[in-house]
Amino acid sequence: MRRHQFIVPLALLGVLSFPARAEGRDISRDTLPANDGWASYGSGTTGGAAADDAHVFTVTDRAGLVRALDGGSDTPKIIRIAGTIDANTDDRGDRLDCADYATDGYDLKKYLAAYDPRTWGAAKPSGPQEQARQASAARQAERVELTVGSNTTIVGLEGAVLKGASLQVKDATNVIVRNLELRDAYDCFPVWQPNSGGLGDWKTAYDNIWLRGATHVWVDHVTLSDKGHPDSGEPTYFGRNYLRHDGLLDITNGSDLVTVSWSRFAGHDKAMLIGNGDTATGDRGKLRVTLHHNEFASVVQRAPRVRFGQVHVYNNRYLVKDGHRYSIGVSTESALYLQNNAFTTPGHIEVADLVKSWNGSALHDEGTLFNGFPVDLLPIHNAYNSGSERDLTADVGWTPTLHTKIDSAEVADRAVARGAGAGRIP
Ligand code: CA
């Protein structure tokens, strides 16, 4: 499409001489349009649009990005990412791999030998190998966790990629992340949790983007994936997949007023968790999120899984592949409002596989398209849900009012296929 023939000349002229632009327009100071989802509520979301010239940065490596982020300060700032930045690098920009972080004798073979459930049992890992794992993990976290403060806009220039990082908006407000590919937030040191999910499971640390205690956040035209290290290529230990990635975009701990638009979630297990605990009652009345015109391609689960929040999910495109567990997760006190989403699945994945509920009680659904045919998710869920799941009612107790034009699922499906993800801001 469109711009391919211009990529080579732009590169020859040197990307640094160009502002973050889409079709020739500088997007650095864009703000969230009025009524565009929950992040437009009240004072809206302007990110770093008020930055003075001294706080507009173009960064090309981790060190520059860290300097621009300024320890999560709330000074209005615009950070433009150029080229590929790898978070797993030292201060000189040299690549760090898992062996570089490993310390205190951490060794995966020894870790597996120490905590094999057949000999160790179901107690939480403790002792030298677990201590060494924690110390090693802390060394990686110090490199890859990047804190984003209030009043910040992060935009990618043409082709920008942030690798291995976990962007964390913590107890901050008014943040925009746009036009950026974030890939492979790879955890070198997963921890074994013997009591997770009955059979035990591996817990990994990093989300590509993690919003915790974050309000007024707009994530737009980003591409989020495990590219480089797909979890499908990881081995199984203790009978469980040794996952290297946690969420692509998790929204937890009282976060509120978030719009996620025109983004691509691709090739990943747990894409988006909204609310991370059934007992986190401080999330009640918060976790209000709008998801529109996003593509969820080859996502296994959590697209999204919701607790507590009023979450509007409209005009999204789902490309379901083998290995899929569910798409929409209805958990404690969630109030999901689905409108005009399109699902495309292989033949053996059925409508009843799209929704899963745990302690959820309601789900609003309308205009869903399944392999080109209109379907009603709710009665099908209630007819075919498994024994542990409750029937859901249609009354979620609210009706969204903050949204852009809602298209039919068919129209949205085509528009998202063309327009979602980094590099596609019109
Ligand atoms: Ca997470």
- Encode pLDDT of 114-159 as tens digits: 999 999 999 999 999 999 999 999 999 999 999 999 999 999 999 9
Q: Exactly one of 133, 288, 302, 424 is catalytic; name it.
A: 302
Q: Where are the alpha helices (DSSP H) in 192-257?
A: none
**How does DSSP classify residue 362?**
B
Distance CA 170, CA 363 (A): 29
C-alpha 50: how far from chain center: 26
Instruction: Find the 282 Cα to ligand 1 centroid distance in Å.
Output: 18
Asked, as a colleague might, if the bond just before 33 is cis with ω within 30 of 0, I would say: no
Does this model's pTM top 0.85? My answer is yes
Q: What is the pLDDT of residue 4?
A: 41
% pLDDT > 90, the chain:
90
Nearest alpha-carbon partner for 177 in 141, 146, 213 = 146
Is the pLDDT score of 18 beyond 90? no
> Any residues with CB less than 8 A from the CB of 103 and at least 6 apart, and which?
132, 135, 136, 139
302 is catalytic: yes
Mean pLDDT of 375-395: 90
Q: Which long-range contacts (CB under 8 A, 24 or more apart) does 347-351 make?
A: 349/320, 349/324, 350/384, 351/375, 351/377, 351/380
The structure tokens listed for 76 are 């209005």
Instruction: Find the 280 Cα to ligand 1 centroid distance in Å.
Output: 15
pLDDT band at 243 (very low <50, low <70, confident <90, very high): very high
Q: What is the pLDDT of residue 22?
A: 56
Instruction: Find the 307 Cα to ligand 1 centroid distance in Å.
Output: 14
Sequence-ordered strand ranges (E) for 38-158: 56-59, 77-81, 84-86, 145-148, 152-156
pLDDT band at 386 (very low <50, low <70, confident <90, very high): confident
Nearest alpha-carbon partner for 289 in 353, 215, 380 = 215
Instruction: Find the 246 Cα to ligand 1 centroid distance in Å.
Output: 5
Instruction: Find the 6 Cα to ligand 1 centroid distance in Å.
Output: 38
Instruction: Find the 255 Cα to ligand 1 centroid distance in Å.
Output: 13
The C-alpha R_g of the chain, in whole angstroms, comes to 21
Beta bridge partners of 211: 169, 251
Instruction: Find the 161 Cα to ligand 1 centroid distance in Å.
Output: 21
Instruction: Find the 264 Cα to ligand 1 centroid distance in Å.
Output: 18
Distance CA 62, CA 127 (A): 34
Instruction: Find the 14 Cα to ligand 1 centroid distance in Å.
Output: 37
- Encode pLDDT of 174-223 as tens digits: 999 999 999 999 999 999 999 988 889 999 999 999 999 999 999 999 99
